[in-house]
Amino acid sequence: MSDWRAKVCEAVDRMEPRLRDVGKDLFDHPEVKFEEVQASKRLAAELTEGGFDVELGVAGMETAIRAVHPATSEGPTVAILGEYDALPDIGHACGHNLIAAGGVGAALAVASIKSEIPGTLLFLGTPAEEGGGGKVLMIDAGLFEGVDAAIMFHPSTNTMVGRGSLAITEVKIAFHGKPSHASGSPEKGINALDAVIQTFNGINALRQHIKDGARIHGIITHGGVKPNIVPEYASAEFYVRAPENDYRDELLEKLRKCAEGAALATGARLEFNLVGHSYRAMKPNKILGERFLEHLVACGVPHNPPKDRSMGSTDMGDVSQTVPGIHPYVQICEDDIAGHSREFAEASDSERGYVGMLAAAKAMAMTAVDVLTEEGFIERVRQEFGVT
């Protein structure tokens, strides 16, 4: 092991109580997307204490962080990323408290030797991964310009690198019909709820003919007010996901046709809106990912990818399409537990969770050191990004 790698691992060991406390603090005070006020202040304070120049409130988000270590010199730029938003009602059921603690730990560990090594070290605190697209806003604000490698980790039920993510778009549809007495004069009404149901039926018929791995799932958000009034207004929300950005766009058009067909069939007027942020599919950098895995295994965490390949979506997808990036998963609980569940929240505040976070912090710090110091490494990373 190079001297620097050993040094960043020792730094994480020295900071262990502090990093556990960060993870616990965020866990105990869950804040949902764009409201991560306490979390972002805590992380900013830790980074300031670690010698970073910290900007809290960037890219138009009060809770976004850009921290740069002042010891910069010519060479690559590495960014370590941290998420810290929780989910409504179930708190840190995605383990973002551990992502933040591990990310800050890795950044502070590299900072401890930064004056001895070249390049630029950044920590980017990225709010609102759960549906707000903080990273997309930070990309749009130019915060990833000049970044050669973006590194983060995510707690999971398995340890795996190189897993992708699905491109996603959120759609809201609404139908406007005409109210009338549902029994006395149904012939005078136009039923907006029927149009929503027809849309679901159209989509369900479509399922046989869509590629494996794609997902279309929705809920009815308004279905009328009383059984004896023909629903004048009805609405639904869908997520459309696919392993490729283009196929996601194709499915979006098919969903639009289902809704248009339902409008035509019922006479209701359709409103079709894309809402929230679209996330792009992940393009995990293999060279960075393999290096992270090597370091993680050396820290005692075995590689155990699952057999199935179900995937979610994340705004790290957009980052990985913009600059070389990795979003590896580190196991913190058994794989019969579902993400976004109360059980996963428990794991995010468990001994196994903190041990996983500390190993991830070391592996991220060592990978960042390799990016900054190893001859020819970043060139290979860049080459893969350019040609894949």
* Footprint on this chain of Zn ion (rule: CB under 5 A): 94
Return the number of the residue (104 or 236) whose C-beta is nearest Zn ion. Answer: 104
Q: Which amino acid is at 227?
A: P
Question: In this structure, which amino acid lies at residue 235?
Answer: S
Instruction: Give me the least distance between CB of 267 and Zn ion, in Å please.
Output: 42
In the complex with Zn ion, which residue's Cβ is closer, 94 or 173? 94
Measured from each CB, the residue nearest to Zn ion is: 94
- In terms of CB distance, is 310 or 383 closer to Zn ion? 310
- The distance of closest approach from Cβ of residue 155 to Zn ion in the complex, given in angstroms and rounded to an integer, is 8
Paired tokens of 1: 């092991």
Q: Which residues pair with 239 in a beta bridge?
A: 170, 217
Show the tokens assigned to 152: 């983060």
Q: How far is the CB of 219 from Zn ion (least distance, A)?
A: 21
Which has the closest alpha carbon to 71: 31, 29, 120, 108?
120
For Zn ion, the closer CB: 357 or 371: 357
Residue 327 Cβ vs Zn ion, minimum distance, rounded to whole Å: 10
Q: Please give the Cα distance from 91 to 28 (Å, whole number).
A: 9
Dihedrals phi, psi of 166, to nearest 5 degrees: -90, 140
Name which of 94 and 333 has its Cβ closer to Zn ion.
Answer: 94
Are 103 and 82 spatial neighbours (Cβ–Cβ below 8 Å)?
yes
Q: How many beta carbons lie within 10 A of that of residue 370, not counting itself? A: 23
Nearer to Zn ion (CB atom), residue 94 or residue 252: 94
3-state secondary structure of 260: helix
Sheet holding 61-68, edge to edge: 53-58, 61-68, 120-125, 77-82, 149-151, 325-326
**Contact (CB, 8 A) for 127 and 315:** no
CB of 234 within 8 A of CB of 224?
yes
Considering the complex, what minimum distance in angstroms separates the CB of residue 302 from Zn ion?
22
Q: Please, what is the minimum distance in Å from the beta carbon of residue 129 to Zn ion?
A: 6
